[in-house]
Amino acid sequence: MDPLQNSVSEVLHAAGHQSPELGGGAASTIAGLIGLSLVRMALTTTGEKAKRDVTQPLSRLDAVSGALADLARVDVAVFHRYVDALQLPRGTDGEETRRDEALRDSGQKAAEIPLRAASLIAEGLEIAAEIVAETESAVASDVYAGAAILKGGFVGAIATLDINLTPKRMDAERGGLLGRRHLVVERQAVAMAKIFRQAEADGFFMG
């Protein structure tokens, strides 16, 4: 399935039933896209009402959204390949080897993609943190709602990464991916701290 072309009800059905159609990684990425859309709306509204030039942050948001949308589609395809690899026969040594190779290849991609998604979502949070103080009051809640949804998507992407790093076949890649994980977690933490401070000043609850 294409998670960005199917209806909302179809995406919800795929995410809520045991099937290889939509996994946690793609669902988290879709959440990130929704969060980015809210931040974008607040930014464009602020630009129009306050007569400000928001071209640069808007361009950055659109680039992040485009890259994240591409990852959502790739994640679905990789998830399918991983599920297919799990079903491969392993009755002989040759079959076992082919299955292990297929799982290793799809497993590496299944770990890499949510990490890339988390990095893009962190960038979206960084942009939100940069613009939130200057956002028009009428749409400030949309920035905070967008940031909260982005945070949820980020946590989901990291959880997907973590579970995909647990198999022994990921031993060789685990260290490098965990190093990148640490950096991206720090980035989003800094951005969220700034957003939380502004939310408190504006009288909004962020948890």
pLDDT in tens, the chain (207 residues): 788 888 989 888 888 887 667 889 999 999 999 999 999 999 999 999 999 999 999 999 999 999 999 999 998 888 888 888 888 999 898 888 899 888 888 889 999 999 999 999 999 999 999 999 999 999 999 999 999 999 999 999 999 999 999 999 899 999 999 999 999 999 999 999 999 999 999 999 998
φ/ψ of 104, rounded to 5, equals -65, -45
Number of domains observed in the structure of the chain: 1
> How many Å from the N-terminal Cα to the C-terminal Cα in the chain?
34
pTM as predicted: 0.93
In a domain, 47, yes or no: yes
- Cβ-contact 195, 125 below 8 angstroms: yes
In a domain, 71, yes or no: yes
H or E segment and range at residue 36: helix 24-50
Domain assignment of residue 177, given as a range:
8-202
Can you give the CATH number for the domain in which 97 is found? Answer: 1.20.120.680
**What is the rounded CA–CA span in Å between residue 151 and residue 156?**
9
**What is the rounded CA–CA span in Å between residue 35 and residue 32?**
5
In a domain, 3, yes or no: no
**What is the rounded CA–CA span in Å between residue 22 and residue 10?**
10
- Cβ-contact 83, 145 below 8 angstroms: no
In a domain, 172, yes or no: yes
In a domain, 2, yes or no: no
